[in-house]
A and B are shown apart, each in its own frame.
Chain A
């Protein structure tokens, strides 16, 4: 089972064109920093994303995510190949 770094509805977008969610939806908010590669979404539909920015909001901190293309398994396979050759 995949545990995401931050829960999000990857269907969303706002005026920035990026997917958004709230920082407190991350089990470990310390990994959610601008530029970080994270897994976003939910256990059924996870995706690799880059954290774009963290923006103050009246109800918390809003996080913008740039969803990277490709299936999560493709990234896992890439990581395995790199690990084998390291």
Chain B
């Protein structure tokens, strides 16, 4: 695929899978006979819960490439994460997250080529990082909505700069301007 620097990240193994460790909160009032209301912020409890849209995927191998259309900046990441928190909760709590895609396949729409020339073809530049690097930096990749979409959490306001550092410098998208349609359900 030509001069694409991030392509070197593509081979992957299953030896060190990435675990998305965000789990539903345990039940409350286990030691009390009197039932208590669940611990949910009333300010956000009317929002849809992202947990309902988490796919039952196997763990993401560490060397799978995570792709995000760019260029990103700290204010942009903060804004996008705040938009997610405005729209969703995760297990009843505000969820600050940003959308990314994982190049899970070697060919097809969920491959790196498929993403760059499909869903991300309107991006002149993209950020590429190994899934293992994302997780080692304290973030979690939640497989949400349609494969291979992921929600990267937590991107609370104080962590946007950390995420920007993890994403690294943007690289040219060699398939920018492709006129294939983004596959839709």
Interface of A toward B, CB cutoff 8 Å: 7, 9-18, 20-22, 25, 41-42, 44-47, 57-60, 62, 66-67, 69-72, 74
Give the interface centre of A17, A18, A74 by most chain B CB atoms within 10 Å: A17
Segment at the A interface, from B2-10, B22-30, B56-64, B121-129: B121-129
Contacts A66-B184, A71-B176, A74-B177 given: A13-B149 contact, CB under 8 Å? yes
B46 cross-chain contacts in A, Cβ below 8 A = 58
Please, how many angstroms separate the alpha-carbon atoms of A21 and B87 in the complex? 9
Segment at the A interface, from B98-106, B131-139, B157-165: B98-106
A70 cross-chain contacts in B, Cβ below 8 A = 121-122, 177-179
Please, how many angstroms separate the alpha-carbon atoms of A20 and B144 in the complex? 14
Number of residues in B with C-beta < 8 Å to the partner?
Answer: 36
A17 touches which of B83, B179, B185 (Cβ 8 Å): B185
